[in-house]
Structure 1
């Protein structure tokens, strides 16, 4: 029997989608890595890719096929030129988590007003891996992490969270 007072440590990967960021200037990806670690999860990979549908899809597909349980992307969710994260990732979803984008925009509205309508934040489940796509600003990543993701990947969060539908990780495994 799993001890529900102990958080299950999940294997998390972070992908920054940007044509201009590098490891030194990637404050959003850096924030997410630190937030994930502080919440007791394991960062198993962190990458930066150009905003290209096929490059994004290749990295995320590799993580879905591996033992990664949670993927968090930052960047490429707007309406400008090459923003293509939703187009790259949504074809990979077995199920879309409609409430994620809706909730993100509701929380974000309180912070940035109606400019939040330009956010195409999306999430879904693919082969028992949950995937969250956030805008590229560090503030938006903080909003998404603190307001939604942190609780939804915490096995102790009630009344529900995503840990029960994720692939087992061998640390505190559970039924698939």
Structure 2
């Protein structure tokens, strides 16, 4: 089974052309040759309205996996988690905790991440930081496990116990 992927990079500086985004190339390289197909990517500002519009469009289109990068820190312009939470039908705090625990093994600064994840419609949204290094590490953590909830959301799994024991 293949899955559509939408990426949204939130960065005022990259959106204004002040700096280049390094996260999208990391994501593209990581999913190359997998069952995850990049359908669209956007580079937007950190404004709540821009984030809400971009996420809302991807959710309405039923993109399976929505990966966001940026806006998860502690500054006044970091709005990604709040906007994401406002759109989620089912938050998945267990994944948030797992990503932070995994990331803390690489950097103690991961403890300050406010990234969230969850289901919105038929889409699974995962917030990631704006660091290319951290994004690469998190994608490698997610790739072996993320197909399972995506299959559940799509209705392709009717017996979770059987699906997990078939691995």
Both proteins in one fold, TM over 0.5: yes
- Cα deviations by residue, 1:16-48 (Å, 9 ceiling, x for unpaired): 000011588211122112212332321110001
**1:120 equivalenced with 2:114 (yes/no):** yes
1:62 is aligned to 57
2:129 is aligned to 135
When the two chains are superposed, the root-mean-square deviation of aligned CA atoms in Å is 1.9
Which SS does the other structure have where 2:13 is aligned?
coil
1:29 is aligned to 24
Out of 8, 19, 22, the residue aligned to residue 12 of structure 2 is: 19
Taking the aligned partners of 2:133 and 2:36, their CA distance within structure 1 comes to: 21
1:3 is aligned to none
**1:78 equivalenced with 2:73 (yes/no):** yes
1:164 is aligned to 151
- Cα deviations by residue, 1:32-66 (Å, 9 ceiling, x for unpaired): 12212332321110001100111101111111011
Runs of 4+ in structure 1 off by over 4 angstroms are: none
Question: What's the TM-score once normalised by structure 1's chain length?
Answer: 0.81
Give the unaligned 5+ runs of structure 2: 159-167
Q: Higher helix proportion, which one?
A: 2
Question: What's the TM-score once normalised by structure 2's chain length?
Answer: 0.86
2:2 is aligned to 9
Contact (CA 8 Å) 2:2, 2:36: kept in 1 or not?
A: yes
